[in-house]
Amino acid sequence: MLTKRILYIICLLSGIILRAQNREELNLLPAPQSVVIQDGLFHLTENFSVGIHTSSPDPILVQYVNRIYQSLNRRSGSYFKQQRISAKDNSDTATLQITVIKTQLPVIGADESYSLSVTANRVNLNTATTSGALRGLETLLQLLVQKNDGFYFPAVIIHDEPRFAWRGLMIDVSRHFIPVDLLERNIDAMAAVKMNVLHLHLSDNEGFRVESKVFPQLQNKGSNGEYYTQAQIRELIAYAESRGIIVVPEFDMPGHSKSWFAGYPELASASGPYEPGPPVNFHSVQQMSLGSIMQLVNTAPFPAMDPTKESTYAFLDKFIAEMSVLFPSPYIHIGADENNGVVWKNNPAIVDFMKKHNIPSTHSLQAYFVSRVKKILDKYHKQMIGWEELFSKEISKDVTVQVWQNGAYTKQALDNGNPVLISKGFYLDLFMPAYIHYNNPDIPAQLPDSLQTRLKGGEAAQWTEMADRNNIETRIWPRAAAVAERLWSPATVKGEDDLYRRLFKLSEQLDDIGLQHIANYERSLRRIAPDDYTSFKTLTDVLTPIKGYKKLFAALMKPETMSFQTSPLIQVSDIVPVDSKMKWAFRWAVASYLKNKDSISGNIIRNYLMSWKNNHEELSGLFAKSSIARNVEVHSNNLSAIATIGLDALNKIKEGKTYDSDHLTKTMDILKTAGGTEGETELCILPEIESLVKQKISPLPETYPVF
């Protein structure tokens, strides 16, 4: 009971702090380009009604308006009289007036701007296109506030448009298959934060995930039976389209393609047979180190298509012809990443071909492959996208380069005249806190105008070696919203405190519309600790997964977790959110207390620390019984120890004392020990305990190591 009320008070507190910094108390995420708060409130009552004004029928708009209308109805409990909005409802006296100039299906580069004004009696939403209206409606929904026994929109004038035209989320559905309903939930969440591209990584070594009628062994032999039928793909695309989102398919080639070869070994550069699965035997690496992994990556014969055979291109021509119809998006992503060329060098026929055609390197051979595939895409009127390795100076200027690892590619590709997408710094599978993505240095604050338009935007990326249908929502949300804001809002919108305040509000909104990011975390805790749920949650609420590739590498080394598709992702490190809400509630209390020495913050901090201090003894029964819980037992003990330190530090502050240098050294040693990794998780409140000890709020680290 206590912690919930604490959190409430904390939110009030953080609000006060933020207002003191002249930030507005709206919960908009992403923040609009311009917001002017007026006096007054629009009161949501049963008489709330909608009039739509369009020059031509706009069924997507009408559907969207109904969804937002019902969301407002549900959240406010107003029992709106209008019940359903039809295209014919164009009354000038309706309290929400929506005017859209041009009916338009979602496209990259559409005018997504909108103007939204709220007065005490009327809401006006004016936009150039359908897409703009969808964005504006989401803003209106986020404006809803509950206070003084009612639900309101604050009076505002908002003008908004996106900074970047391409605001994507990439989901890898190959390593772990992600069912359609789950993708649809992600689309709902994307729409809530004004993202507009769902990029599906549909094939990789581990699985081929879309039905081909032309080459049915792609999905039949290239997957474990889990793939999208063409009917499902069409349904998914329609679902996305009606939320202002386009679906861009990726078929990774020439590397990352082992699953293709299970059914069609003739495509491969080395003889088969093949089965979908990891490209090499990772756990042959004896010692987990960056060096040994990198050596493997550079020297292992990763499966790749044979770029020297005409039959390969004949196959791809037919395949792309089919997929071009299935996916109406003007873009096809061909991957082209992480092909080390070893398998090509190992094949004498390919080496001969290179000699014969004066192809000096495997990188050049890949460029040749890309140029051939480019011709196929041209034939079917599709624009090519690929990961950064596809770039070469000779590449056609209409190929979009997606930068994921080497930031130097951004400048090179832009200078070369190629459009660029940034995913470097947006890899959600690296378990980094949201603010790290938010402050992504690879999104330049400013670019010369000549390059600005070529930088199309970026994409958050969720690879799924360590994520499956049971935890992927907790992995993506709400963190992806930080990426969404970085890509939508002006570069001047900054500040971790305000980001996290809004991010946890957004998390509630996504929970309300059915996202499973909270429910799945709690569900997993019930599985691990059915009889000790609350105490175990007190611990896990302040645990986060270790950052970077450490968790993946640890898994790669273990034979039992090697098979990405069947190993259960059930450890604490698999289920806890990357950003801890408790950490931020505690941090805000510590910051407030250190600044103001107020008793409210002091009591909040004390209550937290007391609950942590006394939690360990509650869990002895669980640790005796559950090996999964036991993997984080050391943290439980440490949490108790550092809470004791925190209480001591709090007393010192009250008494106006500080730590002497010996005591400080010893204390910091304990904190350092408590900062260790257990069960691939770490305690996330150490900086705040340290802040109490040092009586100064610790800044957040600007980066964390990826390896």
Q: Which residues bind a copy of itself (CB under 8 A)?
A: 1, 3-5, 7-8, 11, 46, 63, 70, 73-75, 77, 79-81, 83-84, 146-149, 179-181, 184, 224-225, 229, 231-232, 235, 470, 508, 511-512, 514, 516, 518-519, 522-523, 526-527, 530-535, 538, 560-561, 563, 565-568, 570-571, 618, 624-628
Long-range contacts of 8-15 (CB under 8 A, 24+ apart): 9/600, 9/604, 10/585, 10/588, 10/589, 10/604, 11/501, 11/585, 13/588, 13/589, 13/592, 13/600, 13/601, 14/497, 14/501, 14/588, 14/592, 15/501
The helix (run of H) or strand (run of E) holding residue 702 is none
Q: Which is nearer to a copy of itself, 80 or 153 (CB)?
A: 80
Is 362 or 681 the residue whose CB approaches a copy of itself more closely?
Answer: 681
Cα separation, 244 vs 254, in Å, equals 32
H/E stretch holding 359: none
281 Cβ contact list (under 8 Å, min separation 6):
none
Question: 238 or 706: whose CB is closer to a copy of itself?
Answer: 238
User: In the complex, what is the shortest distance from the CB of residue 2 to a copy of itself, in angstroms, rounded to a whole number?
Assistant: 8
Kind plus residue range of the DSSP H or E element containing 433:
none
Distance CA 89, CA 66 (A): 12
CB burial class (10 A; 0-12, 13-18, 19+) of residue 636? buried
**Least gap, CB of 558 to a copy of itself (angstroms):** 8
User: With respect to a copy of itself, which residue has the nearer C-beta, 271 or 534?
Assistant: 534
Which tokens is 316 given?
């791809």
C-alpha Rg value of the chain to the nearest Å = 27
Q: What is the largest CA-CA distance in the chain?
A: 83
* 3-state class (DSSP) for residue 407: coil
- Least distance CB 79 / a copy of itself (angstroms): 4
Amino acid at 61: L
Amino acid letter for position 666: K
CA distances for 286 relative to 27, 294, 296, 366, 561, angstroms: 50, 13, 11, 31, 16
Decide whether 224 or 673 has the Cβ nearer to a copy of itself. Answer: 224
Which CB sits closer to a copy of itself, 225 or 656? 225
Query: In the complex with a copy of itself, which residue's Cβ is closer, 163 or 517?
Result: 517
Q: Which is nearer to a copy of itself, 294 or 624 (CB)?
A: 624
* CB of residue 672 to a copy of itself, shortest distance in Å: 30
**CB-facing half-sphere around the CA of 465: CA atoms within 13 A:** 20
The candidate with the shortest Cα–Cα distance to 201, out of 21, 463, 402, is 463
Q: How far is the CB of 568 from a copy of itself (least distance, A)?
A: 4
| 3-state percent breakdown (helix, strand, coil) of the chain, nearest 5 | 45, 15, 40
Minimum gap (Å) between residue 327 Cβ and a copy of itself: 17
- For residue 338, indicate whether it is catalytic: yes
Question: 103 vs 611, which CB is nearer to a copy of itself?
Answer: 611
Q: State in angstroms the smallest separation of the CB of 373 from a copy of itself.
A: 31
SS3 82: coil
- Taking the least distance from each CB to a copy of itself, the nearer of 45 and 596 is 45
Residue type, 649: A
Asked whether 575 and 526 are in contact (CB, 8 A), the reply is no
Token reading at 486: 């970085």
Q: What minimum distance in Å lies between the beta carbon of 270 and a copy of itself?
A: 24
Residue 496 to residue 531: CA distance in whole angstroms: 36
Using DSSP's 3-state secondary structure scheme, residue 604 falls into helix
Q: What is the dihedral of CA 261, 263, 267, 268, to 10 degrees?
A: 30
Strand, coil or helix: 54: strand
Residue 193 C-beta: closest distance to a copy of itself, Å: 19
CB nearer a copy of itself, residue 117 or residue 567: 567
Question: Least distance to a copy of itself from the beta carbon of 549, Å?
Answer: 21
Q: Distance from CA of residue 463 to its chain's centroid?
A: 10
Q: 452, 162 in Cβ contact below 8 A?
A: no
Of the residues 24, 241, 338, 618, which is catalytic?
A: 338
Distance spanning both ends of the chain, measured CA to CA: 40
Q: For residue 512, count CB atoms less than 10 angstroms from its CB and return exposed for 0-12, middle for 13-18, buried for 19 or more.
A: exposed
Quote the least distance from Cβ 110 to a copy of itself, whole Å: 24
Kindly list the catalytic residues: 338
